[in-house]
Amino acid sequence: MSTNVLATLDLAPAILDRIRAVDPSLNVRALAAGTRASFGGRLPYPSELQATAPAAEIESALADADVLYSSWAGVLPDLDLPRLAPNLRWVQLLHAGAERVNASLIGDVAFTSAAGMSAGPIAEWVIGTMLMFAKGWPAVFLDQQAHTYRRYMPREVEGMTVGIVGLGTIGLEVARRARALGCRTLGMRRSFTTRSPHDAVDEAVPPSDLDYLLHESDVVLISAPATAETAQLIDARALREMKRDAVLINVARGSLIDETALVEALRAGTIAGAALDVFSVEPLPADSLLWDAPNLLMTPHVAAGTDRYYERATAIFCDNLARFLRGEPLINVVDTARGY
């Protein structure tokens, strides 16, 4: 008996062939056919995220779906899946975050994420922003645009302390690269209960010692999941605990930072700078105060996005698909109690 796999966006032929190769019994269908052509083969990420099928096309295709391969964004959260997809047994998400998934849907239907797939690319983005601020590149680029020749004092990255709030797969990859540059690393994870040595970082820090991590760090990285406990974690008080020459980096979710407080801290010189790849509202509204905040580097949620994004996501999906067909436990199962 065949298993019907439905992808809600126009995937490249090579990606579809990789899915079909998992088992000859699979019936794999991708929606939004031809949408990729509208991008002319350019920018496979994030442009392809716009290639998701419209609601009507998804609704008509769900009736036979046993497995859904999709981003949990756009129209999907608004669809009545139990009614439209009575045979659905498993949803594989294209992304790591699962905070938007309605907990009521998780029961007979398993949800798994692509957690961990972008740890390497995101870590490269983080290290890149660290180097940019340490070497003064954002400011010197503005000087170049203004035809201003102004000497300044770069900082050395070696010897800096990098505090990682959220020592998951991304945090671990950042720690590995930061240590290779000669940095001291502090790592926070909610399962840590005391400050102690750790094999992946120089010191493990429990959430109760957030102020200690903020006091000690030259770079503070936010890479924790978006949960009720982490909402607005970095607020005005937390920003005041940071060093005045420290930089804040967020690659988690915009909800973890009080953006108004961050703008005020940057204007007041409370911290030296910030780099954000995520925002509380995306796309970032035209009237957001973040646009004009000093010493702020922003990218449009692309830290995970490389030309290998779908290759990486599909590798996780194919591994899980083989497990699913064999009746084995899936990896990256979403736990709504944890929020990811």
What does the pLDDT read at residue 157? 98
Q: What is this structure's pTM?
A: 0.86
What does the pLDDT read at residue 72? 76
Q: Establish whether 151 is a catalytic residue.
A: no
* Cα gap 159→179, rounded to integer Å: 9
Per the structure, how many domains does the chain have? Answer: 2
CATH number at residue 232: 3.40.50.720
Q: Establish whether 253 is a catalytic residue.
A: yes
Residues 139 and 108 occupy one common structural domain = no
Residues 47 and 177 occupy one common structural domain = no
Interior/surface letters 236-257, b for 16+ CB within 10 angstroms, e for the rest: eebbebbbeebbbbbbbbbbbb
Q: Establish whether 20 is a catalytic residue.
A: no
What does the pLDDT read at residue 47? 44
Residue 336 included in any domain: no
Residue 193 included in any domain: yes
Residue ranges for the chain with pLDDT beneath 50: 40-41, 43-48
Residues 143 and 248 occupy one common structural domain = yes
Parent domain of 15:
3-117+306-326
Residues 186 and 250 occupy one common structural domain = yes
Residue 335 included in any domain: no
Q: How far is CA 112 from CA 75, 200, 335, in A?
A: 19, 26, 9
Residues 80 and 208 occupy one common structural domain = no
Residues 72 and 152 occupy one common structural domain = no
User: Which pLDDT tens digit goes with each residue over 312-337?
Assistant: 899 999 999 999 999 999 999 988 66
Residues 156, 158, 229, 282: which is the catalytic one?
A: 282
Residue 331 included in any domain: no
What does the pLDDT read at residue 316? 95
Residues 18, 36, 301, 312: which is the catalytic one?
A: 301
User: Which pLDDT tens digit goes with each residue over 248-291?
Assistant: 999 999 999 999 999 999 999 999 999 999 999 999 999 999 99
